Amino acid sequence: MLSKRIIPCLDVKDGIVVKGTNFINLREAGSAVELAERYYHEGADELVFLDITATLEKRKTLIELVKEVSKVIRIPFTVGGGISKIEDIEKLLNAGADKVSLNSSIVKNPTLISQASKSFGSQAIVVAIDSRTTGNLHKVFVKGVTEETELETIPWCKKVEELGAGEILLTSMNKDGTKSGYDIELLQYLSSILTIPIIASGGAGTKEHFFEAFNKANVDACLAASLFHYKELGISDLKNYLYQNKINVRL
């Protein structure tokens, strides 16, 4: 059985890690390279870097950041933000990223998923989906969660799997930064209909929230940000708790 993964997320703006609530009210959390090295030594299984203000001018900055990070860690890391073509993916992978995260661009051009999967292998392609729930409806948002699309989350998850995505990073916008727990109901349903790994994102506040996501929703990985950034919860403490509660994690 594959080990369940704990993944710190670094939302990067101009090389600095930031964090907000529901994607707004951003505050600085420190240097991306320093935090990456810290999480590596603390026992993180992977890292996710998201350039939340990705523009053409900042693309070079992100490439340099990926190179710097790859020098200080020995765990897989995923990079996303502003990736719109095969050449973008190739540059990031060549700079040291192990995977890329695709989001806004694939809504307009879903074939990028299959092209990327064929070119670099599905294991290198993560589809990030920002989902907001209203009543019984789950809608997909893009462009740093500023724009609602016509897509519904569940059919979109199925579509990206069919197109060749290696895994899905699902962020519940309603839960992001609230520390009220992951969206268990949605994750539970998705894990029952998808065959590719699911990374749960948005809402982690306690060790029990991680346990719930692994135990009830059967996700493959849990992602969190501020909880780790501000040392409210240590990765080794979290993993020991999960291990003691019969969750298969790498200690």
List, for residues 57-106, the tens digit of each pLDDT value.
566 668 888 999 999 999 999 999 889 999 999 999 999 999 999 998 99
Among 167, 1, 44, residue whose Cα is nearest residue 99: 167
Confirm if 221 and 45 have CB atoms less than 8 A apart: yes
Three-state DSSP at 95 gives helix
Active site residue 220: no
Active site residue 98: no
Architecture of domain 5-244: Alpha-Beta Barrel (3.20)
Q: Which of 88, 130, 176, 183 is catalytic?
A: 130
Instruction: Tally Cβ neighbours within 10 Å of residue 66.
Output: 21
Instruction: Tally Cβ neighbours within 10 Å of residue 207.
Output: 17
Residue 21 has pLDDT above 90, yes or no: no
Residue 55 has pLDDT above 70, yes or no: no
Residue 153 to residue 197: CA distance in whole angstroms: 16
Residue 141 to residue 218: CA distance in whole angstroms: 24
Q: Domain extents for the chain?
A: 5-244
Q: How confident is the model at residue 23 (pLDDT cuts 50, 70, 90)?
A: very low
Average model confidence (pLDDT) for the chain? 90
